[in-house]
Amino acid sequence: MPFLKKYKMQKSIKYIVLLLICSAFTTMSYYPIDGYLHTGIKRLKYLELVKSGELKSTTVIPPGAQKSYMDIELNLISKKEDSTAAFLSVDEQFQKDINALFRGLDKSYSIAVLDISDIDSVRYAKRNETAGYQPGSVGKLAVMVALFTQLKKIYPDSFEKRLELLRSKSVKSGYWGLTDTHTIPIFNLETNKLLKRQVIASDVFTLFEWADHMLSVSNNGAASIVWREALLMAAFGESYPTLSQEEADTYFTTTPKKELTDLANDVVNLPLRELGITTDEWRLGSFFTSGANRYVGDKGGSIGSPLGLMKFLIQLEQGKVVDQESSLEMKRLMYMTDRRIRYAQSPALKPAAVYFKSGSLYKCDRSTGEACGKYMGNVTNYMNSVAIVEHPDNCKYIVVLMTNVLRKNSATDHLTLASSIDKIIKR
């Protein structure tokens, strides 16, 4: 057998074996399995025990969801000095191909797509990219940015100290974490038992674990708590690491609500302005739970656009969101998805690593007898997906898809579009 033919065969066999190993491996969540020591997130210890065979699970995850912690990288570091605008010049043919996908679909479909497979020749396409939507849980990415922004202010010269604070600082839910139906995974290290339930007022987790709950299962209570802690970091600065629960409670009960509202708004929105994202392109105006409204009011409303979120994701890949180390850590957190849904559920993306956040918000008016239900609002029906997709063959791209299709669950359309976009980019 010729050497080249034999080499190719051996390489193919190794690849098949690798795929079989990946497909046989079962866990409950998608995250680098080796992330427990780095983060202290206890559910990751559960994943380690599943991988070793000490615990059993029945959920199979796709190969693309099994990256190692150190395998995750930023794709545009070499283009760090380039402006965001340099990536947003429309490629004529790519634009035609993307436009064709939306024939017959609702006019509300808005998208921004950036192919970064070849970073020296990127391709960009858009549709209604400046349209504003209620971002829903996609807004939790802004809370994540707020957290890392404030961590840098406390420890400007040491990323390791920031990580240690995330691992060691434990905070209590209180009213802030209540009123959300999303469950969170709770792993008991002593009993090796995994429990999923709603957040209760007495829950105590580390900052890293609350951030994980906010992004991996999109828990609204966790998002309010992380935002609260970023607010406290802004208020107390270098004193925050030793701030007691009693001192925090006193601060919220004695500080005027308007003052708290203004500071909370600045904490999540000013970092976006520093990235050149305008207030009409992406902003948050209210917390994610009504429990937070005991202390903090709403201001300005929340809005997101494909263009605003694309600006964020480009700069994340450039390492420019807070700083390079923070950008990488935030990208890792976006890999922590409990399960792939909507856009990310596309079968075409199974081999790919997907850094993902979805968000939805719907409103019903049943006074006229018109049918209306979950994710099928007849007043508003927002469904949003943001994703960084990385295939093993170096096909890499960024997508922001936002819709407001009334009286229809658009999840299947998002999935179908994901497959079609993937096919176009792979041509």
Domain harbouring 313, CATH code: 3.30.450
φ, ψ of residue 297 in degrees (nearest 5): -90, 180
Q: Which pLDDT belongs to residue 12? A: 45
How many residues are recorded in the chain?
427
For tokens 């990323």, name the residue.
Answer: 159
Last residue of a domain, one of 60, 75, 110: 60
Kindly tell me if the per-residue pLDDT of 409 is higher than 80.
no
| Whether 291 and 325 share a structural domain | no
Does 4 share its domain with 46?
yes
Distances (CA, A) of 148 to 3, 187, 221, 268, 360: 52, 25, 19, 11, 24
Residues 286 and 145 in one domain: yes
Neighbouring-strand partners of residue 110: 402
pLDDT digits (tens, 9 = 90+) for 306-353: 999 999 999 999 999 999 999 999 999 998 656 777 878 888 888 899
Any domain includes 69:
no
90-109 tens-digit pLDDT: 999 999 999 999 988 888 89
- Which residue reads 């079968």 in tokens? 347
Residue 149 covered by a domain: yes
- Identify the top-confidence range among 3-17, 177-191, 197-211: 197-211
Query: Which one, of 273, 266, 231, lies nearest residue 251 by Cα?
Result: 231
Domain range for 288? 135-304
- Do the domain assignments include residue 368? yes
Give the separation between CA 234 and CA 232, rounded to whole angstroms.
5
390 and 279 within one domain: no
Domain annotation covers residue 128: yes
Whether residue 288 sits in one domain with residue 161: yes
DSSP string, 232-266: HHHHHGGGGGG--HHHHHHHHHHS-HHHHHHHHHH
What the block records as the tokens of 100 is: 């064709």
Do residues 277 and 152 share a domain?
Answer: yes
Greater confidence (17 vs 257) lies with: 257
Q: Is residue 197 part of a domain?
A: yes
**Residue 215 shares a structural domain with residue 240:** yes
Q: Which of 271, 304, 337 is the endpoint of a domain?
A: 304
Instruction: Please identify which residue in the block is written with the tokens 């009011």.
Output: 297
Domain contains 170: yes
Query: What's the number of domains the chain is made of?
Result: 3
**Do residues 112 and 7 share a domain?**
no
